[in-house]
Amino acid sequence: MLFVTAAFLAAASPVLAQNPALAPLDAALPDLQKLYLDLHQAPELSFHEEKTAAKMAERLKALGYQVTTGVGGNGVVGVLANGKGPTVMLRTDLDALPVEERTGLPYASKVRTKDDSGNDVSVMHACGHDIHMTSWIGAATLLAKAKATWRGTVVMVGQPAEEKVGGAAMMLKDGLFTRFPKPDYAIALHDHAGLPAGKLQVTPGYAYANVNTVEITIYGRGGHGALPYTTVDPIVIAARTIVALQTLVARENNPFDPAVVTVGSIHGGTRPNIIPDEVKLQLTVRSYKDEVRKALLDGIERIARSEAAAAGAPKPPQVTVVDSSSSVYNDPALSRRLAAAFAKAFGRENVGEGKPFMVSEDFSEYGRAGVPAVIFDLGAVEPGRYEAAQKAGTRLPPLHSSEWAPDYPAAIRMGASSLTVAALDLLGKP
């Protein structure tokens, strides 16, 4: 369903070839596809994107951008100034995931490395950041070639460590919006595993969730499993806590404000006849509104402490928020403007309104820093495969899956085109 009005689209022209700024894309596509295959076969984990960042920097320099590396770790910033006008930031992420690729494709990643804990892991672009980077370089190429058609400044941001939701904050702390031109608009795309290639979606308002990881250590007094009355059983306390935590969503939260509290890990004990001294829980907590997030986190600590006190635990539990990322809020006015521009360029039948996800994206940091920002969805499933799955009711591999294999030629074409169309709509005119 489109959320742009008919008035916005009355003069829409779906003929892509009529946009002269996109005309050089066909000639650039073979090289972009080669870049994609290189990136796909050489993924790097969060905070270790040295070679990936160098490739992005080299490409931008060759296009005439003023390039700075090492921003907030492995971040890359390329600036192309072209007279007086708005400043538009286009962001890509650089990192990959510790996933073993099982697509069976001839260009599948075979990379193995050590993670930050010293574990030997496989590495794969299972979230499509290779699609993002290639589309980003495509847009940088088209914008550099189309300088006669726009005025202003383009800031290309290659961000590290999105998967660990740390890179955006690190770049901002390192002066992204003070050392370089502060953007009037920030734009990004994300490939979508449930949308056919050639389609776009823009989600106005909340698009991605607040995410908090919470660890709870519940303390008891261990002993023999045959003599439970001589102990304070932390496993029973943990069980009561897990059940009670669900009331935060079911009974304390307004159902019109989405929220999730999931206990994904519970560890305690070594043998069936030994009551342990402690049990550890790990939770993921998700919401959109900051006030909902606060209520959930406060409620988790309140319930954990109360259940422990009710059971006579020897000391209160330890409740720790170990990491956080903030919700992405797509500026509604900018969302409408981009949707209209996309519909004009690609046809309104190819531009839809997306739905919010309960996943995380630290693109949120740029909007929270005071810049109108939008991240939109890029269809990446081969259309025939998508249609067959829809008819059969079968499940397609999601993002972060070892089987995720985007239709990269079509996704790159639309990715580069859509980022270019977005930038040109926001930049000034000669």
**In this predicted structure, what is the pLDDT of residue 4?**
37
Compute how many other C-beta atoms are within 10 angstroms of the C-beta atom of residue 164.
15
**Residue 15: band (very low, low, confident or very high) from pLDDT cuts 50, 70, 90:** very low
Active site residues: 95, 162
Query: What's residue 12's pLDDT?
Result: 34
Are residue 316 and residue 334 in the same domain, yes or no?
A: no
Report residue 414 as tokens. 């639309």
Q: Structure pTM?
A: 0.91
Task: Identify the CA nearest to 213 among candidates 148, 150, 284.
Answer: 284
Domain edge (last residue) among 279, 303, 325: 325
- Tell me whether strands 87-93 and 152-159 are parallel, antiparallel or unpaired: parallel
| Residue-level pLDDT at 14 | 41
Give the residue numbers spanning the domain of 291.
Answer: 210-325
Residue 369 shares a structural domain with residue 296: no
pLDDT at residue 262 in the model: 97
185 and 61 belong to one structural domain: yes
CB 408 within 8 A of CB 131: yes
- Domain match, 351 and 260 both: no
Mean pLDDT value across residues 138-167: 97
Kindly provide the b/e burial profile for residues 18-28, where b requires at least 16 CB atoms within 10 angstroms of the residue's own CB: ebebbeebeeb
End-of-domain residue from the set 310, 325, 340? 325
Residue range 143-171: average pLDDT?
Answer: 97
38 and 98 inside one domain: yes
Instruction: Residue 395: give its domain's CATH number.
Output: 3.40.630.10
255 and 307 housed in the same domain: yes
* pLDDT averaged over every residue in the chain: 95
Position 5 scores a pLDDT of 33
How do residues 261-312 score in pLDDT, each as one tens digit?
Answer: 999 999 999 999 999 999 999 999 999 999 999 999 999 999 999 999 999 9
Q: How many domains does the chain have?
A: 2
321 token code pair: 């928020």
Handedness of CA 72, 74, 75, 80 (dihedral sign): positive
Please answer whether residues 107 and 69 qualify as being in contact, where contact means their C-beta atoms are separated by less than 8 angstroms.
no
The length of the chain is 430
Helix (H) or strand (E) holding 105: none
- Of 325, 358, 393, which closes a domain? 325
Q: Do 140 and 19 have their domain in common?
A: yes
Residue range 324-381, pLDDT digits in tens: 999 999 999 999 999 999 999 999 999 999 999 999 999 999 999 999 999 999 999 9
pLDDT exceeds cutoff 60 at 2: no
Supply the pLDDT for residue 225.
Answer: 97
Same-domain pairing of 172 and 105: yes
pLDDT average, residue stretch 414-423: 98
Domain harbouring 296, CATH code: 3.30.70.360
Q: Mean of the pLDDT values across residues 185-193?
A: 98
Q: Is the pLDDT of residue 16 over 70?
A: no
Average pLDDT (186-209) is 98
Same-domain check for residues 125 and 236: no
Confidence of residue 19 (pLDDT cuts 50, 70, 90): confident
Residues 6+ apart with CB under 8 A from 384: none
Using DSSP's 3-state secondary structure scheme, residue 31 falls into helix
Please give the angle made by the CA atoms of 88, 90 and 92, to the nearest 5 degrees: 165
Do 225 and 289 reside in the same domain of the chain?
yes
pLDDT in tens, 81-94: 999 999 999 999 99
